[in-house]
């Protein structure tokens, strides 16, 4: 089981499409990838009455995965799944999502992430719990960093750095 390292820089909950360039990391290929959304994050479950911090809300997401934070960035796939607001004291999500690659060297493969995302923290780490295709038997972790957040529109750009070991 050779190990492989790469970085995904991605944006969630944003109407902006974004771009960047590939970078290299020592001893491993690194892709810098971004996620953007149009209105691709929609609330499907509401919070019950009298519950703080949106506890109980569920949003379905279908965010573009791009090669960078700019609008002109190349799209290489989607991040599809949902997040649930699972804390009464802060904005902390349970996130379940699949990174679906439809372009580039990971075309046709997926990565599955399930973990906790406390969105106001600078770095949030979530486990990579599996994958398909090239990422069969994948295990690893993703680190999410908010790149941009527009208070007026609610748009955000979030960078994902994903490290996986796989066959």
The footprint of a second copy (CB under 8 A) covers 40, 42-48, 51, 55-58, 60-62, 78, 80-82, 84-89, 92, 94, 96-98, 100, 110, 112, 114-116, 125-133, 136-141
Least separation, in Å, of the C-beta of 163 and a second copy? Answer: 9
Compare residues 82 and 149 and give the one whose CB is closer to a second copy. Answer: 82
Q: What are phi and psi of 88, to 5 degrees?
A: -95, -10
**Shortest distance, CB of residue 84 to a second copy, whole angstroms?**
6
Pick between residue 110 and residue 146 the one whose CB is nearest to a second copy: 110
Please choose, from the candidates 123, 120, 99, the residue with its C-alpha nearest in 3D space to the C-alpha of residue 31. Answer: 99
Q: Which is nearer to a second copy, 128 or 156 (CB)?
A: 128
Q: What is d(CA 59, CA 140) in angstroms, rounded to the nearest whole number?
A: 24
Closest CA to 52 of 91, 94, 92, 88: 88
Q: Which is nearer to a second copy, 69 or 131 (CB)?
A: 131
CB of 141 to a second copy, least distance (A): 6
Phi, psi dihedrals of residue 31, rounded to the nearest 5°: -105, 135
Beta carbon of residue 124, minimum distance to a second copy (angstroms, whole number): 8
Work out the burial of residue 54: count CB atoms within 10 Å of its CB; fewer than 13 is exposed, 13-18 middle, 19 or more buried: middle
DSSP string for 149-162:
E-TTT--EEEEEEE
Q: Work out how close the CB of 139 gets to a second copy at its nearest, in angstroms, rounded to a whole number.
A: 6
């Amino acid at each position: 089981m050779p190990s492989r390292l790469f970085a995904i820089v991605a944006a969630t909950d944003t109407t902006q499409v974004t771009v960047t360039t590939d970078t290299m990391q020592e001893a491993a290929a690194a892709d810098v990838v971004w996620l953007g959304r149009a209105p691709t994050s929609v609330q499907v479950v509401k919070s019950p009455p009298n519950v703080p911090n949106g506890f109980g809300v569920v949003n379905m997401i279908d965010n573009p995965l791009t090669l960078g934070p700019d609008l002109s960035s190349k799209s290489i796939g989607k991040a599809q799944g949902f997040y649930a607001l699972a804390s009464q004291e802060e904005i902390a999500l349970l996130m379940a999502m699949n990174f679906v690659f439809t372009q580039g060297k990971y075309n046709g493969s997926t990565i599955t992430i399930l973990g906790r995302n406390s969105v106001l923290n600078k770095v949030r780490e979530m486990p990579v719990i599996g994958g398909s295709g090239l990422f069969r038997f994948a295990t690893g972790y993703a680190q999410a960093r908010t790149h941009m957040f527009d208070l007026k529109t609610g748009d955000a750009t979030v960078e994902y750095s994903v490290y996986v070991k796989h066959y």
